[in-house]
């Protein structure tokens, strides 16, 4: 409360604290002083870096003025915990046709934003609590094979699960994607339907793990878990059509 008061430059006295459902990694709350509500995520102190890189992604996405994301108010720690505080906005599922179409358009605009010649990100970040490495690469086939597929196989190996020879499989993926040379797009990075909702201001998304990559990764993630309306994809392709052989690469 005191750290938030120092940030806001006025005394913030919490009069209401409501536990929110949804997050399975961090505890989430809505806090209220009778006038202004905030969304708070709390975890162990060791989680501070994860909140810091989440805030970095949120700041960057807000800078694009494309998809709508919560505003970061404060990231910090107490004696026992780390926390991130965001503006609180009431949400409901994004399931109507008009707003689904609009969100598809906004995502396409994000994928068109900025100019970046390489694939990666300045910092590694996290999918949930799993580290996502983002070392810069000039070629998409190299980045995806090593930083995504190879990394996941290595994590499995460390848990005692060996599916294939990792180096051989990385080479196979590189060869499969060698002729696919997309322009780097800024990605949300964890775009499943649980990270998208609807507010009074329109569609909103949260919990990003941004990096510069192939835009097809964001689209494939939406299809992996489902829950997006057909109008979402129609809206996306009205701005930025997918390549004809996208579905082959997705599979």
Average pLDDT over residues 234-239: 99
pLDDT of residue 12: 74
CATH architecture label of 97-250: Alpha-Beta Complex (3.90)
What is the average pLDDT score of the chain? 94
The secondary structure of residue 147, as a DSSP letter, is I
Domain boundaries, the chain: 2-87, 97-250
Q: Model confidence at 126, in pLDDT bands (50, 70, 90)?
A: very high
Q: One of 190, 207, 214, 218 is an active-site residue; which one?
A: 190
Distance in angstroms (rounded) separating the CA atoms of residues 234 and 224? 17
Distance in angstroms (rounded) separating the CA atoms of residues 121 and 189? 11
CB 250 within 8 A of CB 180: no
CB burial class (10 A; 0-12, 13-18, 19+) of residue 24?
A: exposed
Distance in angstroms (rounded) separating the CA atoms of residues 147 and 51? 21
Whether 21 shows a pLDDT value over 90: the answer reads no
Whether 23 shows a pLDDT value over 70: the answer reads no
pLDDT tens digit string along 29-68? 999 998 899 999 999 999 999 999 999 999 999 999 999 9
Average pLDDT over residues 131-159: 97
| Cβ-based neighbours of 79, under 8 Å, separated by 6 or more | none
pLDDT tens digit string along 63-113? 999 999 999 999 999 999 999 999 999 999 999 999 999 999 999 999 999
Q: Model confidence at 164, in pLDDT bands (50, 70, 90)?
A: very high
Q: Model confidence at 1, in pLDDT bands (50, 70, 90)?
A: low
pLDDT of residue 9: 56
pLDDT over 70 for what percent of the chain?
Answer: 96
pLDDT of residue 43: 94
Q: Model confidence at 118, in pLDDT bands (50, 70, 90)?
A: very high
Please state which CATH number belongs to domain 2-87.
Answer: 3.30.200.20
CB 166 within 8 A of CB 153: yes
Active site residue 214: no
pLDDT of residue 227: 95
Distance in angstroms (rounded) separating the CA atoms of residues 48 and 150? 27
Distance in angstroms (rounded) separating the CA atoms of residues 247 and 132? 24
């Amino acid at each position: 409360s005191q750290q938030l008061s120092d940030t806001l430059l006025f005394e913030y006295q919490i009069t209401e604290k409501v536990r929110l459902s949804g997050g399975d990694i961090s505890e989430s709350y809505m806090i209220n002083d009778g006038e202004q509500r905030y969304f708070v995520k709390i975890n162990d102190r060791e989680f501070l870096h994860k909140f810091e890189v989440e805030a970095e992604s949120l700041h960057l996405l807000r800078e694009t003025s494309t998809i709508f994301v919560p505003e970061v108010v404060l990231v910090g720690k107490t004696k026992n915990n780390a926390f991130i505080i965001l503006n609180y906005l009431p949400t409901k599922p994004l399931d109507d046709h008009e707003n689904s179409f609009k969100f598809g358009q906004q995502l396409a605009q994000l994928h068109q934003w900025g100019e970046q010649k390489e694939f990666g990100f300045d910092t590694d970040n996290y999918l949930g609590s799993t580290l996502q490495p983002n070392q810069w690469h000039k070629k998409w086939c190299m980045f995806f094979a090593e930083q995504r597929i190879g990394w996941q196989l290595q994590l499995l190996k460390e848990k005692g699960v060996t599916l294939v020879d990792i180096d051989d499989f990385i080479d196979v993926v590189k060869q499969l994607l060698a002729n696919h040379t997309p322009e780097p797009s800024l990605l949300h990075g964890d775009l499943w339907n649980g990270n998208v909702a609807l507010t009074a201001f329109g569609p909103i998304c949260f919990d990003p793990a941004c990096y510069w990559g192939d835009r097809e990764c964001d689209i494939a993630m939406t299809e992996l878990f489902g829950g997006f309306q057909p109008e979402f994809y129609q809206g996306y392709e009205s701005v930025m059509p997918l390549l004809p052989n996208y579905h082959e690469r997705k599979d």
